[in-house]
Amino acid sequence: MVLEVIILAAGKGSRMQSTLPKVLHALAGVPLLQHVINTAKKLNPRAIHVVVGHGADAVRTAFLEESVLFHEQADQLGTGHAVMQAIPHCQSNSVVLVLYGDVPLIQTKTLSALCEAATQSPAMLSTLLEKPDGYGRVVRDAQGCFHAVVEDKDATQDQRHIKEVNTGILAAPVNLLTTLLKQVTNTNQQREYYLPDILGLARAGGLSVSIHTTSDIIEVAGVNDRLQLEALERAAQQRYAEALMRQGVAISDRRRIDIRGELICGEGVSVDVNTVFEGRVVLGDDVKIGAHCVLKDTEIAAGSVIEPFCHIESAVIGQNCQVGPYARLRMGTRLDPTSKVGNFVETKNTKVGEGSKANHLAYLGDADIGAGANIGAGTITCNYDGANKHPTRLGDRVFVGSNSTLVAPVVIEDDGFVGAGSVITDNVPRGELAIGRARQHNISGWQPPKKN
């Protein structure tokens, strides 16, 4: 079967009250439309067509990297009219599947079944809602077979009691769809060309229309306003959390985790409450993430522990490291195995060598630190001279005493030792002790000032 997927995304989404086109709003860190495109791709279609209208340029720009075809619907004359914009670009004898840019959590499995049922005649996806208000209702005949979809605004009082609703998602052979779309008129309450009318027309023409019903209302839920977006966000997060838990990840509370991108976990991983994962985060075996962390585009190798309240971005953390609590690892941080970065330590573009420690209160920027080094509390790399950034290099087993200022560019060779409170402006040769501070004088017989 040759499949063509048409994704409708031309609507304005006025209820979002946003300057951003609706389908660009993020769900789980990814634009709504991206979710639909990702799902569509799994069906191996010949092409993915996206019908754009409102905010068309912004939508195109956001998906430049995707190999999808955009078709512009200048005026939004209805869902049937929207599909017509893409039809001429579909291969004949294909099956067309219609999806929506604002229905992000539709599942591949449901769609494959729908498409397989649509090689000869249309197939539609329905669901049952306790409150069906606003939706098109599925009207069945005396035998329980599909008869038609009636829009809420066009429905009779009796039809409004029907709880089976049209999800909007349907599949049909392209040639049939083309013929039927030409017969659709806009003589209805909304003066729109309704896509679901093709189903009623098919039935009236003696074809059967198969109805697939899903009980999973999340997968067919649309986003119209920010409340629905937030509700779907929680539902999506719960799904991700449950999938990870089934894989063996110990998540303390599935309601208090946010994965805005991709989280890949090894075995024995645990994640305490309220952590936000952004971009692509990879956690090795037995990694422990404490409460209240933000982790973005980061890899953490086996056995490492991230204590609570850490902020980590674009970092690579080796095995059995210990980070935090309250550490901030910025872009380009690399922690070699068994190293330790403790509370109120900030690192940027810095390598901390194997087994080295910066346990408290330090800024390490543009630094290359060897193995077995000890960075005392209050150590600052002065990497910026007001115009340019400069590197600091510390060899193996270097000891930097507390409250030292390392004025870059500067090198402290292996086994170098810096006395506490030093300002280091010159390189320290291997094994030497550097003391860069005024000597202490004790003044005997000194009298404190007296009040007048």
449 CB neighbour count, 10 Å cutoff? 5
Closest to ligand UD1 by CB, 135 vs 363, is: 135
Q: How far is the CB of 343 from ligand UD1 (least distance, A)?
A: 48
- For residues 80 and 365, which CB has a smaller minimum distance to ligand UD1 in the complex? 80
d(CA 278, CA 221): 24
Q: CB burial class (10 A; 0-12, 13-18, 19+) of residue 40?
A: buried
**Which is nearer to ligand UD1, 71 or 393 (by Cβ)?**
71
**What value, to the nearest 5°, has the Cα angle with vertex 272 and ends 286 and 105?**
95
Whichever of 44 and 156 has its CB closer to ligand UD1, that residue is 156
Comparison of 195 and 377: residue with beta carbon closer to ligand UD1: 195
Q: What's the closest the beta carbon of residue 95 comes to ligand UD1, in angstroms? A: 19
Q: Which residue of the set 25, 49, 212, 360 is catalytic? A: 360
Confirm whether 25 is a catalytic residue: no
**Cα–Cα distances in Å, from 277 out to 267, 281, 334?**
18, 7, 19
Q: How far is the CB of 103 from ligand UD1 (least distance, A)?
A: 7
340, 322 contact by CB (below 8 A): yes
What are the residues binding ligand UD1 (CB under 6 A)? 8-11, 51, 53, 73, 76-79, 81-82, 100-102, 135-136, 149, 151, 165-168, 194-196, 222
CB of 85 to ligand UD1, least distance (A): 9
| Least distance in angstroms from the C-beta of 151 to ligand UD1 | 6
State in angstroms the smallest separation of the CB of 29 from ligand UD1.
21
- Among residues 32 and 300, whose Cβ is nearest to ligand UD1? 32
- Active-site residues, by number, are 360
